[in-house]
Structure 1
Amino acid sequence: MLVMLLVFVAVVIHRGVDARLRLEDAAHQAARAASVERTSATATAAAQSTAAGALSSAGVTCMSLNVDTDTSGMQSGGTVSVTVSCTVDFGDALLLGVPGWKLLSTTAVEPVDTWRSISGNTSGGGS
């Protein structure tokens, strides 16, 4: 019985660590997708769809998913920041005293290419 309990604990811990790693990867992919867009609106949409797709492909199911894209630095040589928050269901681990859910959140920052133009930018940079 003790061995079964230890295995169950290990599985729950692994699920939490795995979800965190996959969330960090999704945030990185979303920030990269946003950084190559030309407008704030398309950057925000790209980040949202990329994060959702990356988590879905990785097998992470979020009870709620929030993708917050900061495009205030979206200029040549600037940065784009994406924060991905996912509420992960741990309902099957209630017997161990683990809460039924846990909010995981991570932020990734990607540079905007110095040598390209941004919509609305009149500096005449390359495309």
Structure 2
Amino acid sequence: MAIEAAIGLPAFGLFVAMIILGGRVEIANQAVDAAAFEAARAASIERTQSEAISSGKSAAASSLNDQGLQCTTTNITVNAAAFNAPLGTTGQVTATVTCKVDVADLSIPGLPGTRTITATASSPVDAYRERR
């Protein structure tokens, strides 16, 4: 009985840690995805390229904060080159959010201490809206 417990309990503990890891990574995926979509949308409704980049980065950071995602490092890029297109031309604003999530506290053998999660989203810029 003691041998079964000595083998079974660590295996069960590892199984539980893997379930927690999967849940934590999936929640982080959803949060990063939502942040990328919010950044792209916020950037696409601005009037200038510089305002779009600033607004997109702010929206993504706010979204990650509101969802309570603790990133060890965060990188937010907004491609607002569509604002340079002439009127009547359709363009897309693209936002990419990268977050490193700390998973070292799970103590799973062979697992690195962080997981990098990246999401990209696009939102159209109105082809006939005034741009500055």
Shorter-chain TM-score above 0.5? yes
SS of 2:63's partner is helix
Larger helix proportion of the pair:
2
Cα shift at 1:30: 0.5
SS of 1:60's partner is coil
1:7 aligns with 2:16: yes
CA RMSD of aligned residues (A): 1.4
Q: Is the 8 A contact 2:33 2:119 kept in 1?
A: yes
Aligned match of 2:44: 35
Number of aligned positions between the proteins: 119
Alignment of 1:18-29 (within 5 A): 18-29=27-38
* Bigger RCO (CA 8 Å, 6+ sep): 2
Instruction: Between 90-99 and 13-22, report the one with greater CA deviation.
Output: 90-99
Runs of 4+ in 1 over 4 A off after TM superposition: none
Alignment of 1:31-110 (within 5 A): 31-74=40-83, 75=85, 77-110=90-123
SS of 1:10's partner is helix
Residue identity over aligned pairs, in percent, reads 34
- TM-score normalized by structure 1? 0.86
Structure with greater Cα Rg = 2
CA distance in 1, matches of 2:27, 2:109: 19
Name structure 2 gaps, 5 residues minimum.
1-8
